Amino acid sequence: MNRATRSVAALLALLLAHPLSAQTAAAAKPDRSKPPALGPVRALKLPPVQKLRLSNGVAVLLVEQHEVPVVQVSVVARAGAGADPRGKPGLASLTADMLDEGAGSRSALEIADELDYLGAALGTGASWDATSVGLHAPLKRFAAALPIFADVALRPTFPSAELDRVRKDRLTELLQLRDEPRAIASIAFANALYGRDHRYGTAVIGTETSVRALSRADLALFHERTFTPANSAIVVVGDVTAASVQSELEKAFGGWKAPAGSAPEGVPAAPQVSSRGIWIVDKPGSAQSEIRIGRIGPPRSTRDYFALTVMNTILGGSFTSRLMQNLREQHGYAYGARSSFDFRLSTGPFVAAAAVQTDKTAPALTEFFKELEAIRKTVTEAEVVKARNYVALSFPSDVETTGDIASKLAEQFLYDLPGDWLDSYVSRIGAVSLDDVRRVATEYVDPGKVAVVVVGDRSKIEAEVRSLNLGPIKVLSVNELFGAAKK
């Protein structure tokens, strides 16, 4: 078929029907010689963050959002896996997991039955910096779900039989991690970067040895010290008003009292990587090699937070980033490649990562190092402008749902961010200059001093990796990394 003929026919038909409007609608083909200009940016108007306080002093951060009749509420305690006592890694995570296994007067099955029946989704969990309980419920069932939610956060009973069951579940999970190349790589990388004695050197869920040893008394004590009014905040986002939610929260949480106690210990800053070392974790038969390269980054409180965010967007934080374009689009070695800074209360890792096909492991490592060198040497103004725009202008997507906003409010509380941080986020990103990006790239990305982990089929990759002369190589088996599985 001939395109020109049909266009003319369509135009004639339109002219007959709408003699005036047709001239603008379809009179000519649009100008495709360049992308259409963008209109003026419509400002994101975030609903205000309201700060309430319950009679017992508990802080409440509230954002009203009346789009959908749902409510997200969370209790966030400022102590997570980073506050696990020495020798007890996994305590925060196991405690969080056990919160809904019996609370107040209800058993584990009763809690699950009632919340499921209400169509309310309950989640409990520990990150490095927080232990939290979240509830997402339809507005019409929120009041019925709230007392159960408060019991889970404040009055867990940690029944011994449930602890035995959940412990078995965790030990099996730890066993299954040995199958999963990504998990092996993450754990090996943490080990290599921080050492096993630093809390960040093992996984949030701990180790087989520690999970076997944690006791009911450990959990009860961790909960007692962590979930205190002074150490926690309540975050509410959804189809509620300050007046209505204040009285409901007062009923559920107003009686919450606990001794202030000593604040949980933080994680000490870790010594920086001082030379380049490579770990090969042998996983025979792997179709791909999981690569991790990185070093220790700054804490969330760093002044360089915004500059690092823009720099990482250019390096490996977006689809057009250098790592993604190189490893995937240019070479086809991988489905994806990326980098990130994990900002925590203490010094979390910076990591560049990809899963690459086994026979391209060495060439992929070479490309990784090329990009880690290049970001320190040449960054252009155009790249910085694009990355700034991408991060700043896509910000509305980060605060669209009740869950999105609740996460931001939790972040505000955990890291003690200024009250205007959400409103000023876009302008702070916009203020990052080319010089800032160059400076943080040089300061934080140092490919001569990194930990490198490759999880793959040793028999196929070791010789090639050695020939790159990247540094001393340590080879270990999955069992050596995890410790022999106890039966």
Partner 1 sequence: MTVPLRFRLVLIATTLVALGLVAPRAGGQETARITVAYTQFTLANGLDVILHEDHSVPLVAVNAWYHVGSAREKPGRTGFAHLFEHIMFEGSGHVPEGDFDNWLEAAGGDNNGSTDNDRTNYWETVPSNALELALFLESDRMGYLLNAMSPEKVNGQRDVVKNERRQSYENRPYGMAFLKLPEEVFPVGHPYHWPVIGSMEDLTAASYEDVVQFFKSYYGPSNTTLVVAGDIDPVEARRLVEKWFSDVPRSAPVPPISAPTPVLTSEKRVTLEDKVQLPQLFIGWLTPSYFHPGDETMDVLARVLASGKNSRLYKRLVYDLQIAQDVSAGQNSGALGSMFLVTATAREGHGLSEIEKVIAEEIAKIKNDPPATRELERAVNQIESAFYGALERVGGFGGKADRLNLYEFYTGRPDYFTEDLARYTSLDPRDLQSAARAYLKDDARLVLSVVPAGKKSLAAEKKP
Question: Interface residues for partner 1 in 84-123 (CB under 8 A)?
Answer: 96, 108-109, 112-113, 116-123
Q: What six digits make up the tokens of 144?
A: 């019925």
Q: What six digits make up the tokens of 12?
A: 């004639």
Based on the shown chain and the rule CB under 8 A, indicate whether residue 35 belongs to the binding site for partner 1.
yes
Q: What six digits make up the tokens of 295?
A: 């070093």
Q: What is residue 81's DSSP assignment?
A: G
Nearer to partner 1, 207 or 325 (CB): 325
Nearer to partner 1, 265 or 400 (CB): 400
Nearer to partner 1, 248 or 342 (CB): 342
Stretch that binds partner 1, among 26-34, 226-234, 257-265, 443-451 (CB under 8 A): 26-34
Stretch that binds partner 1, among 22-30, 254-262, 265-273, 432-440 (CB under 8 A): 22-30
Stretch that binds partner 1, among 138-146, 210-218, 262-270, 465-473 (CB under 8 A): 138-146
Nearer to partner 1, 10 or 463 (CB): 10
CB of 397 to partner 1, least distance (A): 6
Q: Closest Cα to residue 357, out of 452, 457, 465, 466? A: 457
Among 139, 221, 374, 473, binds partner 1 (CB under 8 A): 139
Residue 356 parent element (H or E)? strand 349-357
Among 63, 70, 148, 270, binds partner 1 (CB under 8 A): 70
CB atoms within 10 A of CB 250: 16
Q: Closest Cα to residue 269, out of 82, 90, 440? A: 82
Based on the shown chain and the rule CB under 8 A, indicate whether residue 291 belongs to the binding site for partner 1.
no
Based on the shown chain and the rule CB under 8 A, indicate whether residue 140 belongs to the binding site for partner 1.
yes
CA 280 centroid distance within chain: 26
Based on the shown chain and the rule CB under 8 A, indicate whether residue 265 belongs to the binding site for partner 1.
no
CB of 300 to partner 1, least distance (A): 10
Q: 213 to 232, contacts with partner 1 by CB under 8 A?
A: none
Based on the shown chain and the rule CB under 8 A, indicate whether residue 161 belongs to the binding site for partner 1.
no
Number of residues that bind partner 1 (CB under 8 A): 128
Nearer to partner 1, 70 or 94 (CB): 70
Query: Helix, strand, or coil here: 70?
Result: strand
Residue 364 parent element (H or E)? helix 361-377
Stretch that binds partner 1, among 48-56, 262-270, 279-287, 430-438 (CB under 8 A): 279-287
Torsion angle (degrees, nearest 10) of CA 279, 477, 361, 353: -60
The CA distance from 180 to 188, in Å, is 12
Based on the shown chain and the rule CB under 8 A, indicate whether residue 258 belongs to the binding site for partner 1.
no
CB of 164 to partner 1, least distance (A): 9
Based on the shown chain and the rule CB under 8 A, indicate whether residue 365 belongs to the binding site for partner 1.
no
The CA distance from 457 to 402, in Å, is 44
Query: Helix, strand, or coil here: 296?
Result: strand
Nearer to partner 1, 8 or 255 (CB): 8
Query: Helix, strand, or coil here: 214?
Result: coil
Based on the shown chain and the rule CB under 8 A, indicate whether residue 381 belongs to the binding site for partner 1.
no
Among 61, 92, 236, 355, binds partner 1 (CB under 8 A): 355
β-pair type (277-282, 473-477): parallel
The CA distance from 452 to 456, in Å, is 13
Based on the shown chain and the rule CB under 8 A, indicate whether residue 369 belongs to the binding site for partner 1.
no
Stretch that binds partner 1, among 177-185, 215-223, 441-449, 461-469 (CB under 8 A): 177-185
- The answer to whether 14 touches 26, Cβ cutoff 8 Å, is yes
Stretch that binds partner 1, among 54-62, 176-184, 215-223, 371-379 (CB under 8 A): 176-184
Q: 325 to 344, contacts with partner 1 by CB under 8 A?
A: 325, 328-329, 331-336, 338, 340, 342
Nearer to partner 1, 43 or 217 (CB): 43
The CA distance from 99 to 232, in Å, is 16
The CA distance from 213 to 91, in Å, is 10
Q: 414 to 473, contacts with partner 1 by CB under 8 A?
A: 414
The CA distance from 436 to 311, in Å, is 9
Q: Which long-range contacts does 252-256 make (Cβ < 8 Å, 24+ apart)?
A: 252/146, 252/147, 252/149, 252/150, 253/54, 253/56, 253/58, 253/150, 253/154, 254/54, 254/55, 254/56, 255/56, 256/54, 256/56, 256/58, 256/150, 256/154, 256/229
The CA distance from 274 to 449, in Å, is 5
Nearer to partner 1, 55 or 172 (CB): 172
Token pair 């599985």 is found at 485
Q: What six digits make up the tokens of 394?
A: 């896509």
CB of 429 to partner 1, least distance (A): 11
Based on the shown chain and the rule CB under 8 A, indicate whether residue 475 belongs to the binding site for partner 1.
no
Based on the shown chain and the rule CB under 8 A, indicate whether residue 8 belongs to the binding site for partner 1.
no
